[in-house]
Amino acid sequence: MRAFLDLGRQPLSDAFPREGETDGEFFYRLVVGACADCSMVQLLEEVPRERMFREDYPYYSSGSSVMREHFAETAKDLVYTELTGGDPFIVELGCNDGIMLETVRAAGIRHLGFEPSSGVARVARDKGVRVVTEFFEESTAKAVRAEDGPADVIYSANTFCHIPYVASVLRGADALLGPDGVFVFEDPYLGDIVEKTSFDQIYDEHFFLFSATSVKAMAERFGFELVDVRRLPVHGGEVRYTLARAGRRVPSRAVGELLAAERDDGLHEPATLAGFAAAVARVRDDLVALLRELRDGGHRVVAYGATAKSATVANYCGIGPDLVAYVCDTTPAKQHRLTPGTHIPVRPAHVFQDAYPDYALLFAWNHSQEIMAKEQGFREAGGRWIQYVPDVRVV
């Protein structure tokens, strides 16, 4: 495994300490490497899963109207294209607050969600979604197979890339899926990350940065075949991959097209990844220079969206309360706390509207359209957005 990007000492991206309770923060080294044999891109230091996916895990998928619509459409797509047999059964890894499975449940389809973070799992149960508060792996998959029978679909969104122990997950998928079952997962796409210099997609939870090339190689090691891919616009650019047992489905044309595009673009070439690392450093330098210039000029700057991604940006760039007064966020579990590592105060969203700043650093850039439509008053009052993907600019 060849390291190509070092983002330095980083905290848990979704652990927001209270003021006065920062001494015990957990830190690790965020370094990214690439395998010369299988093209997999991944973190080189693993964070224990129990530290990340805790009872107080603060991310709720239903917090975004865009994601609510996305998962409702995804559920309908799976129901009508994959769950065609009698008494179908779908399993989701990392079901969060039940945003996708509630549509499946409403359709009267047997389902089960795996969600190890008990807080969000309770929210899913309150919606009538069937959930187990466990990690999906070979042993738990076999237990479900024994109780519920084979699954037609195993689905995962922004979860499979979190899991370093892919061997156990894929063996679990093999044990749980029926003969013609499929494993469908969507995660941030390496191609988009490199193209957009969206290095904040790299943090503790995103252990793997998948591509069609690396997923194909991974699947083949466990008797699966990559049979479909679909580019998705959500979360700054993702791909939905579909795996089936080898020989059970004819791969779609889209698979060959994306594999060819990755080869033609040199996505996995050392020079491409080195160029990405250099672009990341330029973004850091430009962003810090801009924030210092605004501070020294007497301008008030706040940030918008206390996202997991923002932990990478703030800690890599050294952005603290001296440069950004506070971060506003709609998630109650994050409010009145501090950002991981850099300890910028997190305030409720209404604080932003109560007294508009001069500039707002848009950490939640992947929801920019939704946010800017909501915050038109900020622009009308003369406020300006700072963005850093794909480069640093004032909007």
What pLDDT, in 10s, does the model give residues 251-279? 999 999 999 999 999 999 999 999 999 99
**pLDDT at residue 52 in the model:** 79
Residue 48's pLDDT is 85
> Which pLDDT score, from 0 to 100, does residue 66 have?
84
Whether residue 393 contacts residue 368, with contact meaning beta carbons closer than 8 Å, is answered with no
Mean of pLDDT over the chain: 95
Higher pLDDT, 24 or 31: 31
> Dihedrals φ, ψ of 203, to 5°?
-155, 180
Nearest 5°: phi and psi at 45?
-125, 125
pLDDT for position 60: 72
Question: In this predicted model, which residue has the larger pLDDT, 392 or 369?
Answer: 392
**pLDDT band per the 50, 70, 90 thresholds, residue 225:** very high
The percentage of the chain sitting over the pLDDT mark of 90, rounded to a whole number, equals 87
Which pLDDT score, from 0 to 100, does residue 58 have?
Answer: 64
**Structure confidence at residue 56 (pLDDT):** 72
| Model pLDDT, residue 57 | 67
pLDDT band at 177; cut points 50, 70, 90: very high
Instruction: Please write the tens of the pLDDT for every residue from 343-356.
Output: 999 999 999 999 99
Tens of pLDDT, residues 61-113: 787 788 899 999 999 999 888 887 789 999 999 999 999 999 999 999 999 99
Q: Are the C-beta atoms of residues 211 and 190 closer than 8 Å to each other?
A: yes
Residue 303 has pLDDT above 90, yes or no: yes
Q: pLDDT value at position 242?
A: 98
pLDDT of residue 348: 96
Helix, coil or strand: residue 14: coil
Residue 244 pLDDT exceeds 70: yes
pLDDT at residue 208 in the model: 98
The mean pLDDT value for 208-234 works out to 97
Q: What is the pLDDT of residue 61?
A: 79
Distance CA 205, CA 207 (A): 6
Confidence bin at 155 (pLDDT 50/70/90): very high
- In angstroms, the CA 119 to CA 39 distance is 36
Region 177-203: mean pLDDT is 97
Q: What is the pLDDT of residue 59?
A: 67
Q: Residue 363: which region, alpha, beta or left (left: phi > 0; alpha: psi -120 to 50)? A: alpha
Tokens (6 digits) for 5:
């990007």
pLDDT at 175 over 70: yes
